[in-house]
Amino acid sequence: MSEIFLTCMKMAIYRFGLFLFIAVLLPRALPGGQEQQQRGEAVIRFIRDPDPAPEFAVKGIDGSTVNLAAMRGKVVLLNFWATWCGPCRMEVPDLVELQKKYQDRLQVIGLVIDDTDEDAVRKFAKRYSINYPVAMATDEMRFQFGGVPALPTSFIIDAQSRVVQKHIGLRDPELYEMEVRALLGLPISARVETFEDTGEIFLKHANRASELPGVDMTRLTPAQKTVALHRMNEDACTCGCQYTLAQCRIYDSACRVSRERTAKIVAECASGASTPNQNSPNQNAVPAQGAPPASHP
């Protein structure tokens, strides 16, 4: 069975999966992404007060400098990916087409992580006719963008170099195109809504969140909940992620350490035995610089 046939089969499966996704799952809200209401109206969502995108300048696989500052004035789709990642490989043709279609006003950038073989990346780019800059991302870049919990992860950046949306995992290419067109002021068949970043985009905003993944605070009074959230945003998680408990819950909802520690805080607050930890070593601290550990893929 030829490799071309296998590739075609993969794309067919992918398209069929997208059809099922659009037909069955889109009627439900997708947090931080696109929604489809029962009346059939599509909705795309952007951050209400977007943060500036972290600046970077790295050497591309072709030897040129990939500099985000040089892209100002264009919409940027910043795609963190790896050659070994199946969903990443599947979306490359769509990103190539998107770059081709909006080449004068859009810049797709591929940042490779968890993949150290630059020659293999270069061969992959040539084989798939990638028409946008590709560079090897540093651990610092990965951390500055709030951590990359899964691949692919894409950031949508407006012409003012502000991060307006983040998508984790394989997405319908039509969603990307609608977002690009909306940011370019072009007609779209969707309504645009805005939302506040409570850590979904940048983990530093986790202190804005009133709910955290896997943390049941329904039995707490409003005052107790305030105390609990305060502690979760002060205390550091000890799993090695270098994040607060609140940030870790958002970054890795499967983390057993932060799940058990936040549950204990909730129990303490519910019993009236908890007060804000005035001696917390993490009080008013920001996450330490460095890459998230291997335990958070």
Of 85, 237, 239, 248, the catalytic one is 85
Q: Rounded CA gap, 283 and 234, in Å?
A: 5
Q: Could you tell me the CA-to-CA distances from 53 to 59, 71, 145 in Å, in that order?
A: 18, 11, 8
What value, to the nearest 5°, has the Cα angle with vertex 153 and ends 149 and 154?
A: 145
Residue with the two structure tokens 């804000």 = 276
Domains of the chain, residue spans? 46-195, 197-297
pLDDT averaged per 10 residues, the chain (length 297): 45 42 35 46 94 95 94 96 95 97 97 92 96 94 85 96 95 95 96 95 93 96 95 95 93 94 96 56 31 39
Q: Which fold has domain 46-195?
A: Glutaredoxin (3.40.30)
- Which residues does 226 contact at the CB level (< 8 Å), separation at least 6? none
Q: Examine the residue annotation and report whether 88 is marked as an active-site residue of this protein.
A: yes
Check: CB of residue 41 under 8 Å from CB of residue 190.
yes
Looking at residue 116, what DSSP letter applies?
A: -
Helices (H) and strands (E) in the chain, counts: 8, 11
Beta strands in the chain (DSSP E): 35-36, 42-47, 51-52, 57-59, 65-67, 75-81, 106-112, 134-136, 153-157, 162-168, 191-195
pTM score = 0.76
pLDDT value at position 29? 33
pLDDT value at position 283? 33
- Measured in degrees and rounded to the nearest 5, phi and psi for residue 193 equal -120, 165
Of 88, 237, 248, 269, the catalytic one is 88
pLDDT value at position 142? 86
pLDDT value at position 11? 45
Report residue 119 as tokens: 């020659």
Q: Examine the residue annotation and report whether 255 is marked as an active-site residue of this protein.
A: no
